[in-house]
């Protein structure tokens, strides 16, 4: 199943941005006597400013990610089928039942053994995808041991949080034989909300150091823009993301009182104030436009559709292969590889749908950020930085299928169009 849905938020000011633009040496900056900005020419000028070698490296990195989507799916499916067909899954269940009579503990024991087996079997692909490939393309700052430490922490969190969720879900299935799929979706949504709540305060600090931003030159404009857009922020947080990579990012994370504005140190070290402002304006757009709540509603519907599909497909698979795989029914913990196999198929198939939903929200946040920060050239320059690991100029169908953010061309076009309209 798919990982991650992480988000970004951005901010701010008009007056310092005005002076920054007045002194700009951007390749498309107009003079007072210049004709109306040619949007397409301005976009092409920005894209052409990226050296051919850097473009080729970025395209190769991002296009390689298309294949990784497929390899991740095939690897997960093969492991699930292996555990089922060899009856390894039912043997793990039998071991858990011998270890304890308490069914929730049996579920936790099975989940622990299952997770460790999956981590071991997928380790070579994980190393290639998460470490070697990132180092190859110059995006990774960590040593292998530090990276491995983060992976171990992620596995531990998966054991704890995943164990809680799986235990709750199996409890629902065993007690609600007919409507388990509806209540399973409800439990999953509630769990999603709880992780969003605790994530910024308790989970994210396990991987990085968060400190309050002290640079008043950056802090005050961001807080000013936050207040102007109705965001109740009193502090800005800085995270040492440079310990992992050189990627620039920021976010407004949390929900229902745990919201916090965070920018990473790469953004502070690599970007000018107008660029920081446009990034923060984008991130604040996510907050003001209620994207977290909309995501919960959208992925709640996705969860409901998945559990409905899961109910039908598991019943079909059990009727046909349950005895062969030594599975007792939907409430049997040994069915877990089958659930993950079905989940992999479902989420692999709807990848373009989920990508398009996220991409739409990111584009909305871009427009909000342009209006809030008023820094179209700052936006374009940040988009070029994001182009270090995201293909800048894909085909239209390619963008729909594989991009969970707008492409560089799409984002720079929006920025130059905004600039052209405001030059009038």
**Does residue 232 lie in a domain region?**
no
The number of folded domains in the chain is 1
Cα 162–Cα 166–Cα 167 angle in degrees, nearest 5: 115
Domain ranges, residue 46: 15-24+36-207+290-422
Let me know if residue 337 belongs to a domain: yes
Nearest to 54 by CA among 387, 379, 402: 387
Instruction: Evaluate whether 424 touches 409 at the Cβ level (below 8 Å).
Output: no
> How big is the chain, counted in residues?
424
Higher pLDDT, 16 or 101: 101
- The closest of 102, 1, 154, 119 to 333, measured between CA atoms, is 102
Assigned domain for 341 exists: yes
* pLDDT tens, residue by residue, 379-419: 999 999 999 999 999 999 999 999 999 999 999 999 999 99
- Count of C-beta atoms within a 10 Å radius of residue 297: 12
Mean pLDDT for the stretch of residues 214-218? 89
Q: Which residues pair with 253 in a beta bridge?
A: 260
Q: Are 326 and 86 in contact (CB under 8 A)?
A: no
- Note the pLDDT of residue 257: 67
Pairing of the two strands 260-264 and 236-239 = parallel
Residue 261 belongs to a domain: no
In this structure, is residue 273 part of a structural domain?
A: no
Other CB atoms within 10 Å distance of the CB of residue 372: 26
Q: Is 392 helix (H, G, I), strand (E, B) or coil?
A: coil
pLDDT digits (tens, 9 = 90+) for 20-78: 333 333 444 444 455 688 999 999 999 999 999 999 999 999 999 999 999 999 999 99
Q: What is the DSSP string of 288-349?
A: HTTHHHHHHHHHHHHHHHHHHHHHHHHHHHHHHHTTTTT---TT-GGGHHHHHHHHHHHHHH
In a domain, residue 89? The reply is yes
Spacing of C-alpha 189 from chain mean position: 17
In a domain, 368, yes or no: yes
- Residue 398, C-beta contacts closer than 8 angstroms, at least 6 positions apart: 391
- Sheet containing strand 236-239, edge to edge, reads 210-212, 236-239, 260-264, 250-253
Whole-number pLDDT of residue 10: 31
In a domain, 2, yes or no: no
Interval 291-347: pLDDT, tens: 989 999 999 999 999 999 999 999 999 999 999 999 999 999 999 999 999 999 999
Beta pairing class for 260-264 and 250-253:
antiparallel
Instruction: Please compute Rg for the chain using Cα positions.
Output: 24
């Amino acid at each position: 199943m798919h990982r991650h849905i992480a988000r970004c938020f951005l901010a701010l000011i008009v007056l310092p941005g005005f002076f920054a633009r007045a002194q700009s040496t951007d390749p498309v900056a107009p003079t007072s006597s210049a004709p109306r900005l040619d949007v397409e020419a301005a976009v092409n000028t920005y894209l052409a400013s990226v050296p051919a070698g850097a473009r080729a490296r970025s395209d190769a990195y991002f296009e390689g990610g298309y294949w990784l989507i497929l390899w991740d799916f095939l690897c997960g499916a093969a492991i699930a089928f292996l555990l089922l067909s060899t009856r390894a899954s039912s043997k793990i269940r039998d071991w858990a039942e011998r270890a304890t009579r308490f069914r929730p503990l049996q579920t936790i024991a099975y989940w622990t053994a299952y997770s460790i087996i999956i981590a071991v079997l997928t380790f070579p692909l994980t190393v290639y995808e998460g470490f070697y490939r990132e180092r190859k393309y110059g995006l990774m700052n960590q040593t292998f041991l530090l990276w491995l430490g983060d992976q171990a922490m992620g596995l531990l969190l998966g054991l704890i949080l995943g164990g809680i969720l799986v235990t709750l879900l199996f409890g629902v299935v065993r007690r609600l034989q007919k409507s388990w799929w509806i209540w399973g979706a409800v439990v999953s949504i509630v769990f999603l909300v709880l992780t969003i709540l605790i994530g910024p305060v308790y989970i994210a600090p396990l991987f990085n150091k968060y400190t309050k931003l002290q640079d008043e030159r950056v802090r005050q404009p961001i807080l000013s823009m936050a207040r102007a857009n109705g965001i109740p922020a009193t502090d800005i947080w800085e995270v040492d993301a440079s310990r992992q990579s050189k990627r620039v990012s920021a976010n407004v994370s949390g929900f229902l009182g745990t919201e916090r504005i965070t920018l990473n140190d790469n953004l502070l070290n690599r970007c000018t104030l107008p660029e920081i402002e446009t990034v923060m304006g984008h991130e604040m757009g996510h907050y003001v436009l209620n994207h977290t709540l909309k995501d919960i509603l959208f992925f709640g519907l996705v969860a409901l559709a998945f559990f409905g599909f899961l109910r039908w497909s598991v019943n079909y698979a059990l009727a046909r292969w349950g005895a062969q795989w030594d599975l007792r029914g939907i409430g049997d913990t040994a069915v877990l590889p089958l659930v993950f196999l079905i989940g992999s198929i479902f989420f692999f198939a709807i990848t373009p749908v989920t990508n398009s939903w996220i991409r739409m929200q990111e584009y909305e946040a871009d427009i909000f950020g342009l209006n809030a920060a008023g820094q179209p050239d700052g936006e374009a320059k940040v988009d070029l930085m994001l182009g270090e690991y995201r293909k800048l100029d894909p085909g239209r169908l390619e963008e729909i299928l594989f991009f969970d953010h707008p492409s560089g061309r799409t984002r720079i076009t929006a920025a130059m169009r905004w600039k052209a309209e405001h030059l009038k």
